[in-house]
Amino acid sequence: MHAGGVSSPADVYDIMKVGASGTGSTSGILGARSLRDAAAEFIEAARRGFNAATARLPAS
């Protein structure tokens, strides 16, 4: 897991894409105008990054 300096959905995507099991994003969400919209964007970025990482894994 990586949490320091994560302030945008793009950061979350990049971290998850390289295989992290999770990431923080508190400052990016708390600094947003809409906490709900920001949380949704960060969650979507995490899912896309996770999917990109697992797509590279060999089939079992």
Question: Can you give the residue ranges of every domain in the chain?
Answer: 9-55
Tokens of 22: 């999770």
Q: Tokens representing 34?
A: 């809409």
| 2 vs 34 pLDDT, higher one | 34
What pLDDT shows up at residue 32? Answer: 92
DSSP 6-25: --SHHHHHHHHHTT-S-B--
User: Residue 11: pLDDT above 90?
Assistant: yes
DSSP helix/strand/coil, 3:
coil
Secondary-structure percent of the chain, ordered helix, strand, coil, rounded to 5: 60, 5, 40
In the predicted model, what is the mean pLDDT of residues 4-22?
A: 91
Q: What is the DSSP letter of 2?
A: B
Average pLDDT, the chain: 90
